[in-house]
Amino acid sequence: MFWPFISRYPERGVADVAGKSYDYIIVGGGTAACVIASRLSEDPNVSVLVISKGKVKDDWLNSMPIVGNARENYGSDIDTIPSEPDEQWSGVPVRYFASQALGGASIHNGLQYTRGPPANYNHWAALGNDQWSFEKCEPYFKKLENASSQPKAPYRGHNGPIHVRQDPSLNSVDNIEEAAKDMNLPVRNDINNPNAPPEALFEIEHMITETGHRNSAQVGYLPKSLVLERQETLTICSGAVATRLQFNQDGTEATGVYILDRLDQKSAKECLVSPNREVIVSCGALISAQFLMLSGIGPKEQLEQHKISLVRDMPGVGANLNDHIASSIAFQVRLADSYIRLLNPLIAIWHLLLFIFTKTGIFSRSGARLCAFLSSENIDEKTMTLKPPKDASDEQRRRDPHLPENAPDV
């Protein structure tokens, strides 16, 4: 429901774009798609179409940091994608989640902003593409962020569309920091300092706006004000499913994208939108591969198995997925130290009022406050502490956050 005189977000439907052509067509409405659409549409002489399966979730409830995180596994805007049974997990399928909203996972994630140690990027560069080195990536980190907690740090950005900040914890974390020191793990303030030790306990920054709301990719890169300003050349087609690409006769160029209305996929007919310049596939790690294979690009044997006409045999499509493993540990604590206290209606109302009027309280936060990076090979299994360096040279090597060999695995 919208208050009178407040304009709605300028979404369009499949019927509004069917049969039309645009300079750039972006298939997908996730985090990367929002960034690409915002950057391309800076040029007033080009037209940009974003095809988003999800709708815009810019309501008041979704803007609350902790609420978006808590709703991670619920609602029609979350797709659960099971893997094939995995022998590494005793034959149990692994569940993946895909957000169906403009902004993608940034609508529902924990809002934690961590660049990762430079060693990770330098490791990727060492594999053969020097454009992934930390030196090449750092300017883009600075460009996207507005690091209010580190206002004078020269290695941080301060004018970007994504506000990142540290928030004082509602509960003390002194015991955790002391435990880290007991296992020889350094404690540092800025997790995104490129000169920090590669192994340490850090305070996490969260992507929360100056007004205390969730700073999703949609909020940062495609806010309503920007889309309204550029609506003559920037079109957000939401609630649309891209089914496949159309190619020229020899299969070397994408000449169109077939789309359906998400809510009427069974009875609706496919509509075609055409690019004047490029089609950009940006559907995330899982759906991008699926979309390419449905378009005839992928492993020949697999496409033949599903009776999909082959356009290009590319065995790498849909292969080599890498993802981090996450597991939770539960502790028995005082109710006053747990988010579960919100089950008490009076406490929930109080914290809701705190958020509305002061942008403080539980609803203004987003889960984790601390994060540790470790290399498992440096952990002494008997004492569960970090092994001391062998000598001064080894200490200097282990403290270098830029060495690929120092990339943490925990």
The secondary structure of 383-409 as a DSSP string is TTEEPPPSSHHHHHHHT-TT-GGG---
Task: Please answer whether residues 29 and 54 qualify as being in contact, where contact means their C-beta atoms are separated by less than 8 angstroms.
Answer: yes
pTM of the model: 0.90
Same domain, 95 and 214: yes
Mutual angle of helices 118-126 and 134-144, in 10-degree steps: 130
Structural domain count of the chain? 2
Same domain, 48 and 174: no
The last residue of a domain, from among 296, 324, 352: 324
For residue 155, give the H/E element and its range: none
- Residues 6 or more apart in contact with residue 380 via CB below 8 angstroms: 386, 387
The last residue of a domain, from among 293, 308, 324: 324
Task: Please answer whether residues 192 and 401 qualify as being in contact, where contact means their C-beta atoms are separated by less than 8 angstroms.
Answer: no
Same domain, 245 and 190: no
Same domain, 193 and 221: no
CA distance 80 to 161: 30
- Domain CATH for 277: 3.50.50.60
The last residue of a domain, from among 324, 339, 374: 324
Same domain, 139 and 225: no
CA distance 398 to 387: 11
* pLDDT tens for the 410 residues of the chain, in order: 444 456 789 999 999 999 999 999 999 999 999 999 999 999 999 999 999 999 998 888 888 888 766 554 455 678 888 888 878 778 888 888 888 899 998 988 889 999 999 999 999 999 999 999 999 999 999 999 999 999 999 999 999 999 999 876 666 788 889 999 999 999 999 999 999 999 999 999 999 998 889 999 999 999 999 999 999 999 999 999 999 999 999 999 999 999 999 877 666 789 999 999 999 999 999 999 999 999 999 999 999 999 999 999 999 999 998 888 777 788 888 888 788 888 999 999 999 999 989 888 888 888 788 899 999 999 999 999 999 988 989 889 999 999 999 999 98
CA distance 405 to 399: 11
Same domain, 297 and 371: no
> Containing domain of residue 100, as a range?
1-111+209-324
Same domain, 234 and 314: yes
Same domain, 25 and 13: yes
Q: Which residues pair with 187 in a beta bridge?
A: 201
> What is the SS3 assignment for 98?
strand
Q: Note every long-range contact of 130-136, with CB atoms under 8 Å and residues 24 or more positions apart, other chains counting.
A: 134/194, 134/402
Cα 73–chain centre separation: 16
